[in-house]
Each structure stands twice: as C-alpha cells, then as structure tokens.
Amino acid sequence: MGLIVQKYGGTSVGDLDRIRNVARRVIETVKAGHQVAVVVSAMAGETDELVALAHGAGGDTPLAREYDALLSTGEQKTIALLAMTISQLGQPAQSFNGRQAGIRTDAAHLRARIENIDTANLREVLDAGVVAVIAGFQGFDDGGNITTLGRGGSDTTAVAVAAALRADACEIYTDVAGIYTADPNLVPSARKLDRISYDEMLELSSLGAKVLQIRSAGFAMRYSVPLHVRSSFDDAEGTWVVSEEEVMEQLLVSGVTYNRKEAKIRVRGVKDQPGIAAKIFSPISGAGIVVDMIVQNLSQDGTTDLTFTVEKACYAQAIEIAQRVANEIGAAAVEGDENIVKVSIVGLGMKDHAGVASKMFQVLADEGINIQLITTSEIKVSVLIDEKYAELAVRTLHDAFIGDGAAEPAQES
Ligand code: ASP
Ligand code: MG
C-alpha cells in the first residue's frame, strides 16, 4: 500500500463525462490499496476565458492580486465537481483549494513559487481513507492573498504535493501517451520513450516540448519524485521520468525538439572593448527580458557583431532597448528577425560521446539549411535556423539520430 499523487490536465477534465472517467480511475487506484491525492487543472479552455475576462475588465495590466483571484476559480470548479463525482460513485472524497491544502507561496502574483506545503490537513483526510482533491496552479502568500503559479502550473502543484507527502509516485495524466522522441504531429516515426532522466526532461521542457511545466521537472529532480507521464484515455504505460541511474538505455539522442517562440536581434558594428556586452544586456535584463542564445562574432577592424535571441513576446521592447543602447555606444545598426526557429537535440549519451554536434551540423548542411547560431550544454545542442526549415530539420535530425522507432543506445566513446 502506497500513496499516489495523480494530476489530470484540462482536457482530461474537459466535461462531466471525462470527470467521471477520472473519478473511476481514482477509485480503481484506491481499490488497488493506495491512498490517493488528486491534483486537477481547470476544464479545457477555462483559464483562457478567465484571462480574456480579466483583460476585458482590467485592461492591459489588470491588478495582479485580482487577476490571481479570478484565474484560481477555474480550478476551484473542477475540484468541487470531481469530489462530488467520486463521492457519488461511493468513494468518500474532499476538495481542497490551495490554502486548504497548505500550499504557501511567495507573493509574486501570476508566477508565484511554492515555498512550503503544510500537509497536516491533507494527511488527516488521507489517513481517514478519503481521497483528497486539490486545486492545481494556486496557493496563498504570507498575507493570505491567493496566488497562481504561471500557466501550466498544476504540474508543479502535483510534483510539490508528491514531494511534500513523500508519495511513492506522481502520475501526470494528459492527452498524450507520454514523452515522445519528437512531436508526433511533425514526425510520424517518433516513438514514446519508456524512461527519460530528469535532466533530459528539464532540457526538453525548457526547449519548448510542452508536456510538463519546466518548474515541475526541476522540482521532481530536486526531490527525486518518480514521475509517470501517461494518457488519461487508456491504461497503457506512459513515460517514467527518473534519475539518470534508473535510465537503462542511455540514448545518444532521446529527443528532437523545436521552439518557434524566439526572435533574433543583432547589434552590428559594436566597438570590441570591455564593458560593451554589459551595456547592451544590463538594460535588457533590467526590463525583465530573458535572453537565451548569445553569439559574438570575431572582431574585424576593432568592431564586432552581437547577436542574441529573446522571446517573441518581448521582441518589440528588446529591439527598442537595443536601438537606444546602440545609439549611445555608437554601434552601426540594429537588425531583427522573427522568422527563426530553434531546433535542439537532447540526450544523456552525449555526455561521453564525441561527434554528436558535428553530425547534427552535417545533417543540416546536407539539406542546405544554414545555421545562424549554436549553443550547447552537456546533454543538448541547439541551432537557430530559418523558420521555414523547422519541419524539415526536425524530421531529418530525427531520422539521422533516432530513426524508425529503433533508437540505438549510446556506445562507449
Ligand atoms: N489552468 C492553468 C492553465 O491553464 C494551470 C494548468 O492547467 O496547469 O495554465
Ligand atoms: Mg498542462
């Protein structure tokens, strides 16, 4: 007998039939002898509607405190509906909003971080054989204000609750069968992975593979919570996210992913002298804009070019700042390009295997795809290319490194 935390996303609780389906699954888990805490998202589309309402009432920047008060109602609806449905089927269940579940966060509305979870209330109910149904995405700060954790935040709630309760597993139920080697809509031969490491999952989340909120992957890694990402529409095993030691088959490349949400900015003809990069990037980070890739060209005649990427949502603001700084430091010009895509390969096997990056470059070169920027980490290589090649690049890289469902484990280097 163990304790299982299950999380169901918006599609899985999209209507009453689906909520009944979730209730049956929860009850099966109880019947198998487990204590069950369930974390749910708002019904599909609900949070988007609440966001639109908030802007209707509060303009471009609605009051953050009230924005969170409104957005948190989506999840409140689902916890009540699910608790009623489970009880109706004969299994006692009780709903918990963020505060009732003891989920205390910092005061950063819209992107609050969980600071700690007082599990006393949850424990008491679970120990009495009652299913705890917890609202995802929300908590409360020191002042008792309702906070939300950022879009997709229910994943983080689930992992944090699992860590706090020292659950035996955290099951993330979603509308896909698990973590794939690439987006199956783009690459028909993409296959579901049985296991993947926390590090790989973290890279994939940050690169735009939208299966898990990135913060939840970080949480799971820090607290070694075994995660099982699986479909709520069938009983098949999904993908286990576990520690590196538990991943038997260390793939050279376990995922090919892409992110269209970045834009490129180049500051041309910058004097190549100390302090210039700081002059450009300080005001940008000061405005809360996150810079991802950065490349500085070799200098010629004492000047150089600085190229970097930012999220498309911050592009206009970043260009404006770059333009202002460029004038101040006497740079030649500022150019921008929104028609780009970042394509990445991720795999634990890269750690002790040479030549992965160069093979990636060759594969792209063979397709006539020009690489604009490159960044790497121990287990990742990312390239920036023209957006029109996104699909071609992802497909050919998947073919080259993973192939037709027969991914090869990494060989010793
Ligand atoms: N309902 C919230 C959202 O749509 C949180 C979540 O679904 O995880 O972002
Ligand atoms: Mg989600």
| Mutational pocket test of ligand 1: of 137, 149, 205, the residue with most ligand atoms within 8 Å of the beta carbon | 137
Q: What pLDDT is recorded for position 407?
A: 47
CA of 174 to the centre of ligand 1 (A): 12
- Provide the pLDDT for residue 272: 86
Contacts of residue 354, Cβ cutoff 8 Å, sequence gap at least 6: 413
For ligand 1, say whether the CB of 42 is within 6 Å of any of its atoms. Answer: yes
The identity of residue 122, as a single letter, is L
- Ligand 1 contact via 148 beta carbon (within 6 Å): no
Ligand 2 mean position to 369 CA, how many Å?
Answer: 33
What is the per-residue pLDDT for 340?
97
Which residues have C-beta within 8 Å of that of residue 174, sequence separation ≥ 6? 9, 11, 12, 211, 229, 230, 231, 232
| Residue range 189-203, pLDDT digits in tens | 999 999 999 999 999
Beta strand 146-148 with 138-140 is antiparallel
Q: How far is the CA of 156 from the centre of ligand 2 (A)?
A: 10
Centre of ligand 2 to C-alpha 178, Å, is 13
Pocket of ligand 1 contains residue 14 by CB under 6 Å: no
User: How much is the pLDDT for 408?
Assistant: 52
Q: What is the mean pLDDT of the chain?
A: 93
Q: How far apart are CA 9 and CA 152, in angstroms?
A: 9
Task: Starting from the CA of residue 42, give the closest ligand.
Answer: 1
Q: How far apart are CA 116 and CA 169, in angstroms?
A: 19
| Pocket mutation for ligand 1, best pick of 11, 43, 47, 214 (most atoms within 8 Å of C-beta) | 47
pLDDT in tens, 261-273: 999 999 999 988 8
Indicate the DSSP class of residue 25.
Answer: H
284 backbone dihedrals φ, ψ, rounded to 5°: -70, -45
Q: How far is CA 217 from CA 5, 155, 168, 221, in A?
A: 15, 9, 17, 6
Closest atom of ligand 1 relative to the 153 alpha carbon:
8
Q: How far is CA 195 from the centre of its chain?
A: 18
Res. 297 pLDDT band, cuts 50 70 90: confident
Mean pLDDT confidence for 29-44:
98
Specify the DSSP class assigned to residue 192: B
Count of domains forming the chain: 1
324 to each of 275, 279, 281, how far by Cα in Å? 16, 11, 12
Residue type, 220: A
pLDDT for res 267:
95
**C-beta 98 within 6 A of ligand 1:** no
Residue 352: which pLDDT band, with cuts at 50, 70 and 90?
confident
Q: With bands split at pLDDT 50, 70 and 90, how would you rate the model's confidence at 410?
A: low
**Do the domain assignments include residue 212?**
no
Task: Quote the tokens at residue 75.
Answer: 């999840």
The residue whose CA has the least distance to atom 5 of ligand 1 is 152
Element (H, E) at 27: helix 16-31
User: Which ligand gives the minimal distance to the CA of 173?
Assistant: 2
What is the strand order of the sheet 195-197 is part of?
Answer: 93-96, 131-135, 35-40, 3-8, 169-174, 227-231, 239-242, 195-197
Average pLDDT over residues 218-222: 92
347 CB under 6 A from ligand 1?
Answer: no
Query: What residue's CA is closest to ligand 1, atom 8?
Result: 152
Return the ligand 1 atom nearest residue 154 CA. Answer: 8
Q: Is residue 126 part of a domain?
A: yes
Instruction: Give, for ligand 1, the residue of 7, 13, 110, 154 to mutate: max count of ligand atoms closer than 8 Å to Cβ.
Output: 154
Neighbours of 116 (CB within 10 A): 12
- 51: domain CATH number is 3.40.1160.10
Contacts 24+ apart (CB under 8 A), 155-158: 155/7, 155/212, 155/213, 155/215, 155/216, 156/114, 156/213, 156/215, 156/216, 156/219, 157/7, 157/39, 157/98, 157/103, 157/114, 158/5, 158/6, 158/7, 158/39, 158/216
Task: Kindly give the distance from the C-alpha atom of residue 80 to the centroid of ligand 2, in angstroms, as a whole number.
Answer: 20
The answer, yes or no, to whether residue 413 has pLDDT greater than 50, is: no
User: What digits encode the pLDDT tens for the residues 316-346?
Assistant: 999 999 999 999 999 999 999 999 999 999 9
d(CA 344, CA 328): 35
**Atom 4, ligand 1: which residue's CA is nearest?**
47
- C-alpha of residue 408 to centroid of ligand 2, in Å: 30
Q: Report yes or no on 386 lying in a domain.
A: no
- φ, ψ for residue 193, nearest 5 deg: -90, 140
pLDDT higher at 340 or 277 = 340
> Strand pairing partners for 180?
192
How far, in Å, from the CA of 321 to the mean position of ligand 2? 33
Per the domain annotation, does 339 fall within a domain? no
**pLDDT exceeds 90 at position 131:** yes
CA 9 to ligand 2 center in whole angstroms: 6
**Could you say which ligand is closest to the alpha carbon of residue 10?**
1
- Mean pLDDT over 138-160 rounds to 97
- Domain range enclosing 92: 3-175
Ligand at minimal distance from the CA of 73 is 1
In order, the DSSP letters of 81-133 are: HHHHHHHHTT--EEEE-TTTTTEEE-S-TTS--EEEE--HHHHHHHHTTPEEE
Confidence of residue 247 (pLDDT cuts 50, 70, 90): confident
Is there an atom of ligand 1 within 6 Å of 11 CB?
Answer: no
137 assigned to some structural domain = yes
Among 168, 61, 150, residue whose Cα is nearest residue 106: 150
Residue 337 lies inside a defined structural domain of this protein: no
- Is 391 a domain residue? no
Residue type, 252: L
Residue 330 lies in a domain: no
Q: Confidence class of residue 404 from pLDDT cuts 50, 70 and 90?
A: confident
pLDDT score at 391? 96
pLDDT at 31: 97
Quick count: other Cβ atoms within 10 Å of Cβ 271? 13
Higher pLDDT, 87 or 413: 87
pLDDT: which is higher, 294 or 1: 294
Question: Which residue's CA lies nearest to atom 9 of ligand 1?
Answer: 151
Beta carbons of 7 and 173 less than 8 angstroms apart: yes
